[in-house]
Amino acid sequence: GQNIDQPTEMTATEGAIVQINCTYQTSGFNGLFWYQQHAGEAPTFLSYNVLDGLEEKGRFSSFLSRSKGYSYLLLKELQMKDSASYLCAVILRGSTLGRLYFGRGTQLTVWP
Amino acid sequence: DAGVTQSPTHLIKTRGQQVTLRCSPKSGHDTVSWYQQALGQGPQFIFQYYEEEERQRGNFPDRFSGHQFPNYSSELNVNALLLGDSALYLCASSLDLTGYTGELFFGEGSRLTVL
């Protein structure tokens, strides 16, 4: 089976930087997604990494190391609205987009 | 442009009953995937429908079944409900392109409580 691991909870203060890690052990890895999910809402797409390295998109950046089976999501200049669950998800080679393997999510709480 | 819409948003059933959940995909999308998200967990893939056929299935029993209609909308049916079926059921739509790296669009979900 596929194994995707991320911390259950993290806390940080407004204006700070936080890094949410994700490690994975899968067969036929193709790429890794990060989603944000506010309580009671749909997951929304943040980033997709298929090659090693850092992808920056405004306050959010995502990093991937295929050889280490490791990714992180970096959130800068934290705002209260960033309090949410952050989901790491893997897509396998040959799979269609709708078939993702998710971690359990990291609940981030941002304090004033 | 409407995104993915699901109905109902909340429902309560008792053990042994049957439930049907509905999903309309984002305009232009032809593939619908269903996920179960238990409280405090990540979404777990149930199955995917394309061209009115179940194309892929996750590790869920046969009590979970589905259907896709010619207009690409979809239903998820769960028979003989168990307490453990209580969860948020998410529908996601996409285009049928292997390795497509665009966005997978999720609906707001249907929150099922089994008593």
Closest CA to B58 of A102, A8, A30, A24: A102
pLDDT band, residue A18 (cuts 50/70/90): very high
pLDDT digits (tens, 9 = 90+) for B42-82: 999 999 999 999 999 999 999 999 999 999 999 999 999 99
The percentage of chain B sitting over the pLDDT mark of 90, rounded to a whole number, equals 81
Question: In sequence order, which residues have a C-beta less than 8 Å from that of residue A27 and are 6 or more positions away?
Answer: A2, A92
Question: In sequence order, which residues have a C-beta less than 8 Å from that of residue B61 and are 6 or more positions away?
Answer: none
Cβ–Cβ gap B99/A105 under 8 Å: no
Kindly state the helix (H) or strand (E) to which residue A19 belongs, with its residue range: strand A18-25
Half-sphere exposure of A76 (CA within 13 A, CB side): 7
Kindly report the nearest CA distance between residue B42 and chain A, in angstroms: 4
Please tell me the predicted confidence (pLDDT) of residue B2. Answer: 74
Closest CA to A32 of A42, A11, A46, A18: A46
Please tell me the predicted confidence (pLDDT) of residue B98. Answer: 55
A–B CB contacts, 8 A cutoff, strictly below: 78
Cβ–Cβ gap A96/B45 under 8 Å: no
CA–CA gap between residue A90 and residue A94 (Å, rounded): 12
Tokens, residue B55: 């194309």
* Identity of residue B101: T
Reduce the DSSP state of residue B95 to 3 states and report it: coil
Question: Length of chain A, please?
Answer: 112
Reduce the DSSP state of residue A81 to 3 states and report it: helix
What average pLDDT does range B69-96 have in this prediction?
95
Residue A62 has pLDDT above 60, yes or no: yes
Please tell me the predicted confidence (pLDDT) of residue A94. Answer: 80
Question: pLDDT higher for A30 or B101?
Answer: A30
pLDDT digits (tens, 9 = 90+) for B4-42: 999 999 999 999 999 999 999 999 888 999 999 999 899
Q: Which of A97, A104, A106, A107 would best serve as a mutation to test chain B binding (most B beta carbons within 10 A)?
A: A97
Please tell me the predicted confidence (pLDDT) of residue B102. Answer: 65
pLDDT digits (tens, 9 = 90+) for A75-92: 999 999 999 999 999 999
pLDDT band, residue B97 (cuts 50/70/90): low
Closest CA to A76 of A88, A64, A63, A58: A58
Decide: B25 and B93 in contact? Cβ < 8 Å. Answer: yes
Residues of chain B neighbouring A43 (CB-CB closer than 8 A): 43, 90, 106
Report CA torsion sign: A22, A23, A26, A29. positive
Residues of chain B neighbouring A51 (CB-CB closer than 8 A): none
Please tell me the predicted confidence (pLDDT) of residue A97. Answer: 79
Cβ–Cβ gap A97/B102 under 8 Å: yes
